[in-house]
Structure 1
């Protein structure tokens, strides 16, 4: 297996993190850690409201720098502190960005340290909205966000899901891991040479459905579109990994830089997976493999006759591809499965994690409208033996970037131990 230590894609970058008031402020501690892990130098500004949710001492300990709070701090302003902070920043991220701070930024106000620094800075600016779903939908907030977009300010989010107030809808702040990766992507796309932190790492990813023949013209299959698996392959390749994509029948274009192996049945997919797994570091089983196949495929088309109103098919179990990969005793890759469930999602996913001896499993509730099969969005919860991380509803490409990063982090952590 190849041992890879990802490079630090934010090495040498100065990130000014503004935190405004809202329950999502508690996530800022993890966000600082994620940015530091990627090599960034981080300084934090707390609005007065944010300081009611998270303490300056916590953020100072994590960032290693004093936390700015007051525009009228004589000690700091003796050296024109807000101007120096504005000049220092290579990127300003406001996360969480409340409806109030979004409004003040949109209207060019400078009534606290954060908004004054934003006005004085030439660095790129992004806001990560976090608020009640009704506040987010309000026409005033939407107009303010439109103003920010017209000023070339990046809008990161929000995501949909459960909110602290009990509502469900758009308004959740993007997760820290996802925000950190969006900053990495920004510097990759604006820099002269995009960073390739996963160079040398080899992935095998299965995607799409399988087709199990009934006769020469009919088959058993499912609704998988393959979009999630293809997004994962694209995300890993973009970061420099060598990716082999084993694909069931889909109508999708092979991602740039990805080697694709086309298969139809579960047996074909298993054979290709077992061969590829021997020479790769990470295996992600994202395909929706049919659980059963015909005991015998009819050699000719089955005919409908007047006396066969009921047709009985004899089915046998297909091999469990992900379990067979996890059971390898020689050259076993780090093995990640998927669990698409319609009920008791956490319970069933954790059972599969244990029963199949997986390193991680990514669970999604395909009974929820607008996510999972054939949709453009998805939400996942990733489980490990002593690990759990929720990735909220978002488009599959963005979700794939966050998931690849999470998988590599857990893979590296396991290799260290």
Structure 2
């Protein structure tokens, strides 16, 4: 077999679509939804998948419990600008991502207000997905939204991991780090998570507004120092004051369930590959590190497969997920997946029989409304014909512009889910 049918590009795109579909809320959410309680059922949520999760919950509630139960459902979720969906009972608000805005701050205040006054007979369903950290930018007392915006931009450009970034966010927040769940007491909270973080740690998904926080303000201070972040003086003072503060007490009956993750997506893609006669190998669902450097590593593995049939023989596809980082030095139109793919291609060179797709499962890679891109054995030669300098594009963090010029961008639109990076490297022999 020299290449999958119908073509390497279409094959790789089919893997991406299968990965996304497996993590859609309609596939993974209903089995985890609770029964209505004797009191109110209040839905609170945030993230790039929050609107779709809310619509799925409402449809399930109507079909399983009837119109009367649906009429007693209420709530509010926050999603990214442009990703709201029509709902019956759960209000959907929009806010900015990845740099927070005033709409997100106001939405967070409204979520906290809905949590107040609940009783032990009430039930809270928290719909939490990736992106919620930026969408709920409620500053801790004494801090401002501008503080969080300034610090957020610096952290995103620093090369810090998502776990490190979210540790800082939690300790500067009035809603993250379990504070939303604490506000719901004494009502029990069932948190349903769509994970976009390596390792699927609940406190890192949207910075854990409804789960316990195992980190401390001292940890947040250490991260700022590690990456030489010039934080405002009041931020440093707040973290120093909170270093010895007790943890957040969560209500009895607080329950956390992971409903889908990067592994869910990778396993679905692997199944599609097997059905096409292509051997899949899942390298990991939590790969981290500098995007371009991870690209170099994947290029080395792909070259070993192509030249020596190790660690498996073609036709095969190497699958991986997780969340890489980018240390921003240029002013181009970046995105960690396309930056990783360009690093992959430059390290690989024009090697026949190797194609790749790197994309974000939410449909947005970095600040561009583009999911990712594809690499082909002739990408460098086509770029040269167009006068494109691949190395300069990588150095300037301008990979999106590079792949757009080649007409190799992957544009999916908002997918309604978010289990982070998806990478597929196809070696056809």
If the length of structure 1 is used for normalisation, what is the TM-score?
0.32
Asked which structure has the greater RCO (Cα within 8 Å, sep 6+), the reply is 2
Question: Which structure is higher in strand share?
Answer: 1
- TM (norm. structure 2) is 0.31
Which structure: larger Rg? 1
